[in-house]
Amino acid sequence: MNWILEQSKSLPDTLTYFLVALLLVLVSHWFVRRQKKVWVLNKLPGPKGLPVVGNAFEVALNSRELFAKMNSFGDYGDTVRIWIGTQPYVLISGAEAAEVVLSSSKFIEKSFDYSFLHPWLGTGLLTSSGQKWRSRRKLLTPAFHFKILEDFVDVFNKEAQKLIKKLQKKADGKPFNLFPYITKCTLDIICETAMGTSINAQDDEGENTYIDAIYKIGYMIQQRVANAWQHSDFLYRLSGYAKRRDSLVKILHEFSLKTIRERRRLFQERMKTAEKEKEEDPLATKKKRLAFLDLLLEYSQNDNINLPDEDLREEVDTFMFEGHDTTTAAINWVLFLLGLHPEIQAKVHDELDSVFGNPDRPVTAEDLRELKYLENCIKESLRIFPSVPFFGRETKEELVIGNYVIPADTPVTIMTYRLHRDPKYFPNPEVFNPDRFLPENSKGRHPFAYVPFSAGPRNCIGQKFAMMEEKIILSHVLRNFRVESQETQDQVQVLGELILRPEKGNHLKLFPRKMSGVRE
């Protein structure tokens, strides 16, 4: 009995020793794995960092300075490692290295930064991963077929003509900021094409709650990406920013869900009507233009998926987010660069004059195929000023790029802005030269040297939509006006956040013009 009592008294000490030993083993195991990762990553070129904080002090900058600093790290090489605290990042700015990441179906997970979009967009096509992303991509791909996109040409024309009427009041040779005018035009377009409803951003001189929420939440997301301290959910809530964001999200979600419920009701009515008409006339083929939301309802029913309203909202909100800021930026940068190069602008005018016999005539799908020089101007503008200046991936398994090994669970960022300036593929990269995209000049160029819409399995599903919209809006603007920029390319201050935009807007002058060959 005494022996048992003695053993029981020593048990707590034995358990304590065991737990301490187990903890030491676990910590040692973590430390060894951690140091192995550090050792492997530090083989990559990159700036020297301080213990614990790494390069954090170097990137504690405002948005404009941070973007310039991140691109300057490319001076160390095409594949560079930096440390922000204990978190490593790999920055890629070479075509060969970009191909390894973008062409693989293994590396389709988006990086941590995209989680800031989750409160608004959920896990729609832009932010989802794994099987959900694959099934959504498969479901949505038919909606972006060129034949379906042609149905939206009327919407592009209608809103572009409305834009021209607004700009005619500014065509007095005095400088003004064009950016908000293009923004409202693209907002009207994406709302009607995505949801089948009108918000009349261009007509509304007063405050529109939904439009105001779109602007504000876009700004908040960009600020959160740019400010490292806002990355912490705890600090973001403590600061009050999360509360403000959530109030904006509530406005946006209520609008989207209200529209979805209405379109679902109309869709069901349309199905009943179509069945009745088919019974009465089997050859009836009347078809109304459908918004992306209508197509989603149709596809989900055909595939027996029956997406609930929340799932539809994720995709509709994703269209709204991706479909106006990127296009707005692209159109503004084209006009900015043409405003700096009157000789190139004159060639665009000549092409437009030869294709159109009337400055006010709507653009047709056939016209779009003829606007080859304008398209090259858009491509070259997207090279110099890509709407999305970088995009991130998270490696879920070990990645090998050249002689370097990148461990699993390491964020990898493709630096599009710097990638597009590789003199190996684009001599004199800062020069605006649309002829770079002539077939004879682009032949043999590395396919991953130019990726304004990303590339590989996770490329932008809406790139044809964007190109059509940009060509139609630009053709209307440039048929009616000559543009003259007020800053040089060296003077413009670039903000590279979620979207690449001029920090102080796009200030230019507009002058009315007559198309050559047009009768009085």
The residue-averaged pLDDT of 336-360 equals: 94
Residues above pLDDT 70, as percent of the chain: 90
Report pLDDT for 35: 64
pLDDT of residue 279: 53
Ramachandran assignment for 514, one of left (phi > 0), alpha (psi -120 to 50 degrees), beta (any other):
beta
Position 80 scores a pLDDT of 95
Single pTM value for the model: 0.89
The rounded distance, in Å, linking the Cα atoms of 150 and 417 is 31
DSSP labels, 447-508: TTS--BTB-GGGS-TTHHHHHHHHHHHHHHHHHHEEEEESS-TTTPPEEESSSEEETT--EE
For 139-171, what is each residue's pLDDT tens digit? 888 888 888 888 899 999 999 999 999 999 999
pLDDT digits (tens, 9 = 90+) for 49-97: 888 888 888 888 887 888 899 999 999 999 999 988 888 899 999 999 9
For 188-240, the pLDDT digits (tens) are: 999 999 888 888 889 876 667 888 888 888 888 878 877 778 888 999 999 99
Q: Which amino acid is residue 7, in one-letter code?
A: Q
What pLDDT is recorded for position 84? 84
- Residue 405 pairs in a beta bridge with 400
| pLDDT higher than threshold 90 for residue 41 | no
The rounded distance, in Å, linking the Cα atoms of 222 and 61 is 14
Beta-carbon contacts of 31 under 8 Å, excluding residues fewer than 6 positions away, are none
Phi, psi at 407, each rounded to 5°: -65, 165
| pLDDT value, residue 274 | 65
Tens digit of pLDDT for each residue in 417-426? Answer: 999 999 999 9
End-to-end CA separation in angstroms for the chain: 118
The domains of the chain, with CATH numbers, are: 56-116+137-203+323-512 (1.10.630.10)
Low-confidence winner among 38-47, 160-169, 271-280, 409-418 (lowest mean pLDDT)? 271-280
Mean pLDDT score of the chain = 87
Q: State the pLDDT confidence band at 284, using cuts at 50, 70 and 90.
A: very low
Query: Closest by alpha carbon to 509, among 386, 338, 394, 379?
Result: 338
Angle at 338 between CA 334 and CA 341, to 5 degrees: 145
Nearest Cα to Cα of residue 320 among 459, 178, 471, 201: 201
How far is the C-alpha of 388 from the C-alpha of 498, rounded, in Å? 6
3-state secondary structure of 1: coil
Asked which of 7-16, 212-221, 225-234, 305-314 is least confident by mean pLDDT, the reply is 7-16
pLDDT at 33: 63
Distance, CA of 500 to CA of 333 (rounded, Å): 9
Q: Tens digit of pLDDT for each residue in 386-415?
A: 999 998 898 888 889 988 999 988 899 999
Measured CA to CA, the distance from residue 478 to residue 520 in angstroms comes to 19
Average pLDDT over residues 475-495: 95
Q: What are the beta bridge partners of residue 495?
A: 501
pLDDT tens digit string along 94-113? Answer: 999 999 999 988 888 888 88
Confidence of residue 276 (pLDDT cuts 50, 70, 90): low
